Structure 1
Amino acid sequence: MNPYPLPAAAFKGEGMTSQRARDRLANSLKDAGIRDPRVIEVIRNTPRHHFIDQALHARAYENTALPIGHGQTISQPWVVARMTEALLESFDAKGGMPRKVLEIGTGSGYQAVVLAALVPQLFTVERIEELLRQARRRFRQLGLPNVRSKHDDGKLGWADEAPFDAIILTAAGDTVPTRILDQLTPTGVLVAPVGSPSSQTLIRLRGDGQGDFIQEELGAVSFVPLLGGIG
C-alpha cells in the first residue's frame, strides 16, 4: 500500500455515513465480483460522503452514481473498484505495480483518492475549474502529498509528466485520444469507457512493447461524455 494512508479522522461518520455503512458497501462489492482485497479495503476506508453535497450524504454508501454539479457525477463505487482492479491486475501479472498513474477527469476527486492510496504517484487533470478547486481542497484535507492536479483539457493528457505506467479515463469518448495513448510507456495499461452515450464499454488497452495495444472488453458501463476545452 501507499506510504500516505488516509488519516484516521477522515473515517469518522454517523448513521448513514458510519463505518458500518462503509462495511456494507465493501461487502456488496465483493458480492458483485470485485476480487482484489486491496481495492475493497481502500474503498471501505475512503469517506465517500466527503466528495458529495451534504444533502446526499444519506446515499453516499449506496452503490450508485450521484450528481456533483456541472453535469457531472461521482461514479458508482462498483465502477471505481472495477476500473482500479483492472488497472492493478495487469501489473500483478508482471509482478509489479504502476508507479506513475494519470487520471483524466478528476471530478469530485473520489477515484483519484482511491488510486492515490494504492500507487506512489497520481496525476489528475480536470477541465472544470470549480470541480478541481473542490477536489484539491479534499486532497489537502485528506493529507495526500502524492497527488498532483492540473486544470486543463483532459484530451491533451499531461505531456510534461509523460510517460505514465497507467492511465485511467473517467469519461467516455468514441475512441481514446491518440495524444493520451502516446503518453503511456510501451508496456503501459489504459482503462477507459468508450462508445456513444447510449452504448458504452469499459476497455483495457495493454501495450505490447512494440507500439501496438492488446484490447480487452470488460463490460457495459455508463459515463458522462469526454469533452475537450476547459470551463
Structure 2
Amino acid sequence: MRPSTDKPFSPACERNQAPILGVLRPAFAGRRRVLEVGSGTGQHAVCFASNLPHLVWQASDRADYLPGIRAWLDEAGLPNTPRPLELDVMEEGWPATAEYDAAFMANTLHIMSWPMVETCFRRLDVALAADASLVIYGPFMRQGRQTSESNAAFDAELKRRDPAMGIRALESIEALAAATGFGPATVHPMPANNLCLVFRRTSRAAP
C-alpha cells in the first residue's frame, strides 16, 4: 500500500520486494553486512532489513536520493539500518577493504553506462570480502537477445533517454563478476521478465 506521507514511492519496488525477498533469504542466510548499491527510494532497504534482522543493511545512493531514503529509514526506525551512504559509482569514497560480506543491486545496471558498470564491479572488488555474496535484480539479455517483447521495448526507451543506457547481457555481467572472484550466477526467474542473479565469491580477485 502506498504510504500516506510524502516519502518517495516506487510501485515497482512494492511489487517486486516479495519475490526478491524469497531469493535473499537463502542467499544472505550466513551474511552479516550488506551494501545496497543504488537504494533509490529506500523501500527495499526497509523491507529487507525488517525481514532479515540478522543483517546490517547499508543503503547507499547519490546525494539527491539520500533525503528520500532517510525518510523511509527514519520512519521505520529499524536497529539494523545505519544512515545511508552517499555513493557515486564514478567517485571516490567507497567503503573500506572487505567491509561487507554481501552486496545487493536492483534495477541499477541498465541505467548506468557500460563504463560505469565496469567501475562498479571494480569498486565492489575492494569493498567485499573474499567469500561475499552478490545479488543483482533486473532485466537482462540472454545469449545476445532480449527475453521478451516488453524488455525489448524498455531497452529502446532507455536508449532514447540516453544511448549509454540499456539492458545488459547476462553473460557480460558474469564475466565482470568472474574478474572479481565470483563464480557463475545462479539465475532465478522473476515476475515481469526480470531475473535475480546470485553470485558467491571464492577469492578477492581472479588470477
Shorter-normalised TM range: 0.5 to 0.7
Alpha-carbon spacing, 1:128–1:109, altered in 2? closer, same or farther (3 Å): same
Equivalent of residue 164 in structure 1, options 89, 100, 117: 100
1:39-77 deviation digits (Å, cap 9, x = unpaired): xxxxxxxxx525766xxxxxxxxxxxxx85xxxx45343
Distance 1:77 1:90, change over 3 A: same
Tell me if 1:191 matches 2:135: yes
Identity %: 24
Q: Which residue of 1 aligns with 2:146?
A: none
Query: How do 1:96-115 residues align onto structure 2 when only pairs under 5 Å count?
Result: 97-115=30-48
| TM-aligned CA distance change 1:76 to 1:152, over 3 Å | closer
Any unmatched runs of 5+ in structure 1?
A: 1-16, 18-47, 54-66, 223-231
Partner residue of 1:122?
A: 57
TM-score (norm 1): 0.52
Q: Describe the shift of the 1:114–1:169 C-alpha distance in structure 2 as closer, same or farther (beyond 3 A).
A: same
Q: 1:114 to 1:50 in 2, by over 3 A?
A: farther
Question: 1:146 corresponds to which residue?
Answer: 80
Cα offset, 1:202, TM superposition:
8.1
Name the aligned partner's letter for residue 181 of structure 1.
L
SS in 1 for 2:31: coil
**1:214 Cα deviation from its structure 2 partner:** 2.4
Aligned length: 152
Alignment of 1:51-66 (within 5 A): none
More strand by share: 1
Distance 1:217 1:155, change over 3 A: farther
Is the 8 Å Cα contact of residues 166 and 188 (structure 1) preserved in structure 2? Answer: yes
Long gaps (5+) in structure 2: 142-153, 156-166, 196-207
Shift of residue 123 of structure 1? Answer: 0.8
Distance 2:194 2:169 in 1: 6
- Deviation of 1:78 (Å): 4.2
Cα root mean square deviation, aligned: 3.7
